[in-house]
Amino acid sequence: MTVRFTYGVRSEANQSLDAIIRFVSREELEQGEADQPIVQPQIDEALRSLFAKGLFKADAEQVKVIATLGLYPAAHIIFVGYEQGVTATGLRLAAAAAAKSLKQLQAQSVHLLLPELLIKDAAAGLGIEHAAQALTEGLLLALHVRQPLKREQSERFELKDVALVPQGDAAAASDASAWEHGIAKGLLYAEGVKLARDLTNLPGNDLTPERLAYHAEELAREHDLEIEVIDEWSAADQRMGGLLAVGQGSVNPPRMIVIHYKGDPNSNETWGLIGKGITFDTGGISLKRAEGMQEMISDMGGAAAVLGAIRVIAELKPAVNVIAVIPTAENMPSDRAFKPGDVLTMMSGHTVEVVNTDAEGRLVLADGLTTAITRGATKLVDVATLTGAVLVALGSEATGAVTNNDALFKQVHDASERAGERIWQLPAYSEFKKKIKSDAADLKNSGGRYGGTITGGLFIGHFAEGLPWVHLDIAGTSWLESSRGWEPKGATGVMVRTLVELIVHQE
């Protein structure tokens, strides 16, 4: 079932509404009986009295549901606090808060009223299109929670019919096509994020490397994209020593997935997006402790982000070239697993001393970068659930970044601000690089606990061959213990929208 999402009241106006959402600001409630009604005189009075008693302060994301009892042609009104001068993130959060109430009410046909103040605010600030996109994303993404697999299968609550409906005189002045464009973009971006979340939430016994490749093939087929799925034999021909070593302990063989999007055949510039696709990370011979290990089904969150972004890019068709590369493997201990002390020869020819088999992501990503470069990538962004250390540094509040190119980092950071996804750059001092020097090979795969996110990042950067490169460590942001804003518990699909913003704005 797909949601119908529109701007303005439709001609078949007398449809029955389950609920309406009205963003309301403190200023509006302080005005007392103003000439402009909020929704309906008696309901407005009830809301104002709650406000007077301090029971509804119209703080950001605060929600008050009022039953209309026949006073209004919708069963419930969901008031959501809204602060003037609102940002895209503010709107996305407000819409997400409303969406959670809609779910509680099982309200599928809804109007989101756009008060005059909000329209003026949006027009003067972030722009109508961005406002519409943020509202759409907030409503849809907040409801996309993990769907459990059960004998008695229940359906996920979904919206059926949503209209953004302008109020007051601003309605006539407001640009309908800008609202519609924003809604369309929001719907597309949300689809990309949902794909990433769904893949990431899949259990490891379902999502093996071969299955991830199958999902990538489906995506490529649906959007008419060229795809290569390199199996273990072909990977051996291409000397992908990192990928093969990590995958060799599992009965489920590794894959290198390459998807080509050619939006500008005349350009020599090609983005390389590389996503870590460890479908399950036990740690291998350097086995992880049991507690929390089940969350390692999300160790392909980087791969999911890249696939989600490619899906949106393939729909928006920007005039740029992109190569998406997903090295995917299952990191298992076994008699044939790689082990500490092994020295690997990577696809680039560099050698690596394995000191910890749990530092596997950087090994597969190194070959991923080389694969992207051999296929023409000229600037590289990798996305990976790389280190527990990034959780120590930034918690779940920001994605950690390491780069060799400040200009490229600025582009990525600007994109993340437009998307409302936080990225924090870590220093890439050369001293950190010394920590991954090896006596046995060019590099070793772990520099120890301290500065772990940076040394992990710099290991990957070694394989960028001097090309502009940004590494995004999403170990803290791709999977949440509990929901917040538009992000559910479990997989968040973080970085899908940032990657799309990055690529689409470079036309």
- The catalytic residue positions are 288, 362
Q: Tell which positions 306-335 bind ligand BES, by CB under 6 A.
A: none
Instruction: Give the range of 128-136, 163-171, 322-330, 382-390 binding ligand BES by CB under 6 A.
Output: 382-390
Tell me how far apart the alpha carbons of residues 67 and 47 are, in angstroms, rounded to a whole number: 11
- With CB under 6 A, what is the number of residues at the site for ligand BES? 15
Instruction: Give the range of 121-129, 197-205, 280-288, 372-380 binding Zn ion by CB under 5 A.
Output: 280-288
272 contributes a contact to ligand BES by CB under 6 A: no
CB atoms within 10 A of CB 336: 11
State the DSSP H helix or E strand holding residue 158, giving kind and residue range, or none if neither.
none
Taking the CA atoms of 452, 411, 495 and 315 in sequence, report the sign of the dihedral they define: negative
Q: Which does 387 bind (CB under 5 to 8 A by kind): Zn ion, Mn ion, ligand BES, none?
A: ligand BES
The CB-of-125 to ligand BES minimum distance in angstroms stands at 36
281 contributes a contact to Mn ion by CB under 5 A: yes
State the DSSP H helix or E strand holding residue 503, giving kind and residue range, or none if neither.
helix 496-504
Q: Is the Cβ of residue 292 or residue 427 nearer to ligand BES in the bound state?
A: 292
Among 358, 367, 382, 487, binds ligand BES (CB under 6 A): 358
CA 208 to chain centroid, in Å, comes to: 21
The answer to whether 365 touches 246, Cβ cutoff 8 Å, is no
Provide the 3-class DSSP secondary structure of residue 23.
Answer: strand
Among 241, 249, 302, 361, binds ligand BES (CB under 6 A): 361
> Comparing C-alpha atoms, which of 10, 38, 24 is closest to residue 161?
10
Angle of helix 301-316 relative to helix 209-222, nearest 10 degrees, comes to: 10
β-strands 443-444, 343-345 pairing: unpaired
330 contributes a contact to Mn ion by CB under 5 A: no
Q: Binding marks (x or -) toward Mn ion, 342..361, rule CB under 5 A?
A: ----------------x-x-
Q: Which does 200 bind (CB under 5 to 8 A by kind): Mn ion, Zn ion, ligand BES, none?
A: none
Among 121, 180, 232, 281, binds Zn ion (CB under 5 A): 281
Among 113, 278, 372, 491, binds Zn ion (CB under 5 A): 278
Provide the 3-class DSSP secondary structure of residue 343.
Answer: strand
Tell me how far apart the alpha carbons of residues 69 and 166 are, in angstroms, rounded to a whole number: 24
Listed in sequence order, the residues at least 6 apart from 100 whose beta carbon sits closer than 8 Å to its beta carbon are: 63, 142
β-strands 109-114, 226-230 pairing: unpaired
Q: Is the Cβ of residue 43 or residue 454 nearer to ligand BES in the bound state?
A: 454
The CB-of-280 to ligand BES minimum distance in angstroms stands at 10
387 contributes a contact to ligand BES by CB under 6 A: yes
Q: Binding residues for Zn ion, per CB under 5 A? A: 278, 281, 299, 361
Residues that bind ligand BES (CB under 6 A): 281, 299, 356, 358-361, 385-389, 446, 452, 475
